[in-house]
């Protein structure tokens, strides 16, 4: 392989690598994560890519592609770049209509024929600085992406070294190194061009422009064979790059359909924003105290009503991952109830410290999870589950050790009252609105929802109030009447501050 790109043995792509893209998505990964693309997805410059019939969200992603020149297995960071033979342009095309179904694997959403065009020219990796490469993309002649490898979260050599820890990178393998901000939806008739160059290197080597034309397919997917394409406003926001670009930015007037949409950079909230310090504060603060602090700030609709925990004494704190059931309908259950449905996707994708919150419309006469899904959530590190429906295998779920707040036990299986419909969307649970990334706290008093922007101050004030209430309780136990003591009047406030100042000075 010297001047052309042969059929690669492996194509490995990274999910997020540019700071601009990570900031747009509202989450910055601590380490790179990857997915595979089939060799049959490779295309060439001047080719076309089909948007399948019945879909709307085909998106381009201009990227720098690394082509392995010599085998790499457990190579060091310092040595990694020497195993890269060539650099070229790539377009990591993706169909967001199938993204939720694939959730992370991207097998179908990014594996279509022609979804990885490469070229047209190869740049000798020995002649360029991997920290000084540039990638640009145009749609119909308009510049859409322009970034350099100086904006990477993970240097290119790190990707090579990291992957070589796990398997041998062989000559001809391709690593797609991620896309910067600016990726968006393309439609039939659009022409996408991607170029990679090294403008500061001698001779300013370039890949030339990789040209791909979008065409319209006429063969729909067969729902009897697998899950069908499905889109919602979350996927539209992600595919277009922002709610505004997707046509979802509200007029903000009251009653507007989109008035409550979160900003694009909050479409998939980052669970890590619940810091260990904040989590510890929330674990210390009872829900009663937290709800009192929310009430002081004008938030009265924070309660998920009608649920109780399966393991007495359990407390849960975490960020919400939402799952929505809709009422049972035969044709919809046939299309959405089987296979890798929304319920399974939610439990497969829940992250460490997240809480799965399920909208079951308050119907306790059917189970919304059982022991197998509880095991999966436990293995993924979920902090718990909250559902305003029932739970099957109730005792077994409790034995697993997963705290579940629900309306109680019910033996029915999926398909009696519900169709699993969607994940990571705004839902209603127990009368409360819950958005992905909201802070959920549950204890023996119940479950509350805290807007993330208020969590830190509410937690701190609730813990401080607990200290004050404990001192008041000591005075009541000593025989003092509650009048003037609960709440503290000026005289008792002065005594409290004196006592606590004395304690803190010791």
Give the domain CATH number at 416.
3.50.30.40
What percentage of the chain carries pLDDT values higher than 90?
60
Residue 164 has pLDDT above 60, yes or no: yes
What pLDDT does 7 receive? 84
pLDDT (tens digit, 9 = 90+) per residue, 107-130? 999 999 999 999 999 999 999 999
In a domain, 260, yes or no: no
In a domain, 246, yes or no: no
pLDDT (tens digit, 9 = 90+) per residue, 454-506? 888 888 888 888 777 777 788 888 888 888 777 777 877 777 777 777 554 44
448, 462: one domain: no
pLDDT (tens digit, 9 = 90+) per residue, 251-295? 333 333 333 333 333 333 444 457 888 988 899 888 988 988 898
330, 181: one domain: no
The 8-class DSSP code of residue 478 comes to T
Spatial separation of the C-alpha atoms in residues 377 and 316, rounded to whole Å: 14
Least confident of 98-102, 394-398, 439-443: 98-102
The mean of the pLDDT values for the chain is 87
CB contact at 8 A, 317 and 383: yes
In a domain, 245, yes or no: no
Single out the residue of 167, 138, 150, 152 nearest to residue 28, CA to CA.
Answer: 152
What percentage of the chain carries pLDDT values higher than 70?
93
Dihedral-angle region of residue 148 (phi above 0 means left; psi in -120 to 50 means alpha; beta otherwise): beta
Q: What is the chain's Cα-based Rg?
A: 27
Tokens of 222: 């067969």
CB contact at 8 A, 42 and 205: no
pLDDT (tens digit, 9 = 90+) per residue, 169-205? 999 999 999 999 999 999 999 999 999 999 999 999 9
What pLDDT does 178 receive? 95
Spatial separation of the C-alpha atoms in residues 429 and 303, rounded to whole Å: 9
194, 273: one domain: no
In a domain, 478, yes or no: yes
What pLDDT does 4 receive? 55
What pLDDT does 197 receive? 96
Least confident of 226-240, 356-370, 414-428: 226-240
> Tokens 């310090």 sit at which residue?
277
226, 340: one domain: no
What pLDDT does 235 receive? 84
What pLDDT does 317 receive? 94
DSSP one-letter string for 196-228:
EE-TTSTT--B---EEEEEEE------TTTSPP
> Tokens 């592609």 sit at which residue?
65
> Tokens 């062989």 sit at which residue?
170
Residue 1 has pLDDT above 50, yes or no: no
In a domain, 254, yes or no: no
- Between 28 and 259, the more confident residue is 28
Largest separation between any pair of C-alpha atoms in the chain: 91
Single out the residue of 321, 186, 278, 245 nearest to residue 24, CA to CA.
Answer: 245
In a domain, 131, yes or no: yes
CA 305 to chain centre: 27
pLDDT (tens digit, 9 = 90+) per residue, 377-403? 999 999 999 999 999 999 999 999 999
57, 116: one domain: yes
310, 194: one domain: no
- State the CATH number of the domain containing residue 129: 3.90.850.10
Tokens of 79: 């040595």
Interval 78-95 mean pLDDT: 96
CB atoms within 10 A of CB 5: 20
CB contact at 8 A, 34 and 197: no
What pLDDT does 370 receive? 92
> Tokens 């890519």 sit at which residue?
49
Tokens of 398: 């409790």
Domain finish residue from 418, 433, 455: 455
449, 463: one domain: no
pLDDT (tens digit, 9 = 90+) per residue, 3-24? 457 789 999 999 999 999 988 8
Q: By residue range, what is the domain housing residue 120? A: 11-231
450, 477: one domain: no
Residue 248 banded pLDDT, cuts 50, 70, 90: low
pTM of this prediction exceeds 0.75: no
What pLDDT does 260 receive? 34
319, 205: one domain: no
Secondary structure element (H or E) that encloses residue 119, with its range: none
In a domain, 439, yes or no: yes
Spatial separation of the C-alpha atoms in residues 134 and 433, rounded to whole Å: 44
In a domain, 363, yes or no: yes
Beta-sheet strands, E only, within 113-256: 116-118, 123-124, 134-139, 142-148, 174-176, 191-197, 210-216
Q: Which of 294-298, 412-416, 497-501 has the highest mean pLDDT?
A: 294-298
Residue 372 banded pLDDT, cuts 50, 70, 90: very high
CB atoms within 10 A of CB 495: 13
Tokens of 364: 């306790």
411, 496: one domain: no
> How many domains are there within the chain?
3
206, 342: one domain: no
What pLDDT does 409 receive? 93
- Between 126 and 415, the more confident residue is 126
427, 477: one domain: no
């Amino acid at each position: 392989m010297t001047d052309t790109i042969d059929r690669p043995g492996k194509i490995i792509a990274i999910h997020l690598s540019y700071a601009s893209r990570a900031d747009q998505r509202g989450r910055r990964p601590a380490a790179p994560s990857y997915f595979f693309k089939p060799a049959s997805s490779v295309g060439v410059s001047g080719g076309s890519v089909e948007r399948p019939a019945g879909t709307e969200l085909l998106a381009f992603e201009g990227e720098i592609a690394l082509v392995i020149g010599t085998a790499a297995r457990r190579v060091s960071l310092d040595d990694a770049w020497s195993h890269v033979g060539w650099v070229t342009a790539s377009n990591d095309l993706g169909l967001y209509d199938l993204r939720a179904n694939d959730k992370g694997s991207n097998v179908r959403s990014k594996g279509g024929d022609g979804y990885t065009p490469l070229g047209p020219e190869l740049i000798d990796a020995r002649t360029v600085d991997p920290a000084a490469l540039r990638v640009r993309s145009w749609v119909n002649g308009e510049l859409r992406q322009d970034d350099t490898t100086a904006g990477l979260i993970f240097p290119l050599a790190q990707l090579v070294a990291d992957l070589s820890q796990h398997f041998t990178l062989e000559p001809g393998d391709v690593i797609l190194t991620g896309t910067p901000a600016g990726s968006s939806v393309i439609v039939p008739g659009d022409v996408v061009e991607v170029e990679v160059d090294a403008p500061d290197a001698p001779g300013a080597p370039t890949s030339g422009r990789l040209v791909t034309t979008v065409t319209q397919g006429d063969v729909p997917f067969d729902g009897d064979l697998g899950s069908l394409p499905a889109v919602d406003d979350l996927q539209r926001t992600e595919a277009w790059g922002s709610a505004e670009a997707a046509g979802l930015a509200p007029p903000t007037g009251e009653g507007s359909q989109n008035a409550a949409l979160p900003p694009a950079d909050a479409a998939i909230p980052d669970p890590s924003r619940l810091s260990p310090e904040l989590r510890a504060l929330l674990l210390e603060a009872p829900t009663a105290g937290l709800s009192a602090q929310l009430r002081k700030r004008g938030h009265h609709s924070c309660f998920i009503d009608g649920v109780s925990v399966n393991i007495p004494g359990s407390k849960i704190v975490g960020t919400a991952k939402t799952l929505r059931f809709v009422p049972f309908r035969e044709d919809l259950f046939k299309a959405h109830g089987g296979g890798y449905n929304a319920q399974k996707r939610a439990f497969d994708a829940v992250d460490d410290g997240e809480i799965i919150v399920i909208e079951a419309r308050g119907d306790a006469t059917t189970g919304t999870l059982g022991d197998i899904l509880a095991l999966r959530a436990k293995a993924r590190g979920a902090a718990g589950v909250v559902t305003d429906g029932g739970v099957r295998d109730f005792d077994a779920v409790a034995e697993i050790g997963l705290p579940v707040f629900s309306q109680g036990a019910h033996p029915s299986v999926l398909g009696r009252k519900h169709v699993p419909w969607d994940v990571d969307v705004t839902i209603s649970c127990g009368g409360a609105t819950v958005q992905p990334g909201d802070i959920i706290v549950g204890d023996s008093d119940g479950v509350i929802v805290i807007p993330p922007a208020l969590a830190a101050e509410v937690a701190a004030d609730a813990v401080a109030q607990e200290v004050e209430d404990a001192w008041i309780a000591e005075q009541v136990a000593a025989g003092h009447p509650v009048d003037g003591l609960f709440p503290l009047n000026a005289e008792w406030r002065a005594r409290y501050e004196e006592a606590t100042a004395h304690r803190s000075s010791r």
